[in-house]
Amino acid sequence: MNFPGRSVLKEVHRIAEDNFDFVDLTLEPPAAWLPDGKEVGRLISDLGLSAVGHTAYYLPIAAPFDELRKTTRDLFRRCLDTFSDAGVELVNVHPDIRLPLHHAEQVRARNAAAIGDLSADAAQRGIRLMVENIDRMFTDPDDFASIFEAAPNAGFHLDIGHANLRLGPRQPIRTAALLEAHAQRLDHVHVSDNRGGELDLHLPLGAGTIDWKTSIRMLKEAGYDGTVTLEVFSRERDYLRASRRLWLEWWSSVS
């Protein structure tokens, strides 16, 4: 993933220099908000890469203020236009849970309506929207039922780190359940490590508590062999490179 605090073009060059296969192209401030999509797309192609699209997790797509939701949809459409210009055909969206005083069914309903609209907007541009599991609500398979009913052509974006969070003594890791329910929609995967609990630490692989060989086995059993983003956030890039090496070793060794 490109770091949104730096120029998108510089980040794409860096990703290519580190021998990655694709860019998880995130469009968000301060330095990666709506660059020239055609220029970015040409550079990605010239460097032999491909790309998936990533949007800001904090966009209030289901805001309780209708005016704010409308503005957010307009911003999201501008993202989609940029992704389309860059030749990106898969773009993620994060459900919005920042709705104080709304009960869970209201939050699910507002997200279903919003994502239904955004999925239609994406389809008009030749893009498939994919919905990412997050860390509080929209963590269990049933949380997505109303979304996929409203957006039947949307895909699923599995974040294995998120599936490991907020684990209580009776709450299992949710990767297996999410794959069982939504593997037929699975378009993309994010991986980073954490220690369970509430903190999405984005640690290097192997630095937390996630059993990566088991996770890979579950992906393979679900028939997945698509793109995987190392969502490892560190100033020291050797941690990212080490995570890539480990992932490829584990993927090759797990049957």
- Neighbouring C-alpha atoms within 13 Å toward the C-beta of 211: 10
- Neighbouring C-alpha atoms within 13 Å toward the C-beta of 200: 15
Q: Say what the alpha-carbon torsion angle 184, 114, 109, 189 is, to the nearest 10 degrees.
A: 30
Structure token pair of residue 152:
């039947």
Place of tokens 């800001």: 56
Q: How many CB atoms lie within 10 A of CB 187?
A: 21
Q: What pLDDT digit, counting tens, does each position of 89-142 carry? A: 999 999 999 999 999 999 999 999 999 999 999 999 999 999 999 988 999 999
The pLDDT-based confidence of 168 (bands split at 50, 70, 90) is: low
Q: What pLDDT digit, counting tens, does each position of 191-244 carry? A: 999 999 889 999 999 999 999 999 999 999 999 999 999 999 998 999 999 999
Place of tokens 């239609």: 120
Alpha helices in 125-237 (DSSP H): 145-150, 160-163, 175-182, 212-221
The pLDDT-based confidence of 173 (bands split at 50, 70, 90) is: confident
The pTM of the full predicted model, rounded to 2 decimals, is: 0.95
| pLDDT > 90? residue 22 | yes
Domain boundaries 8-253, CATH class: alpha beta
pLDDT recorded at residue 191? 98
| pLDDT > 90? residue 166 | no
Q: What percent of the chain has pLDDT over 90?
A: 93
With beta carbons less than 8 A apart as the criterion, state whether 243 and 232 touch.
yes
Mean pLDDT for the chain? 96
Distance CA 30, CA 38 (A): 20
Q: What pLDDT digit, counting tens, does each position of 56-95 carry? A: 999 999 999 999 999 999 999 999 999 999 999 999 999 9
Burial of 190 per CB tally in 10 Å (0-12, 13-18, 19+): buried
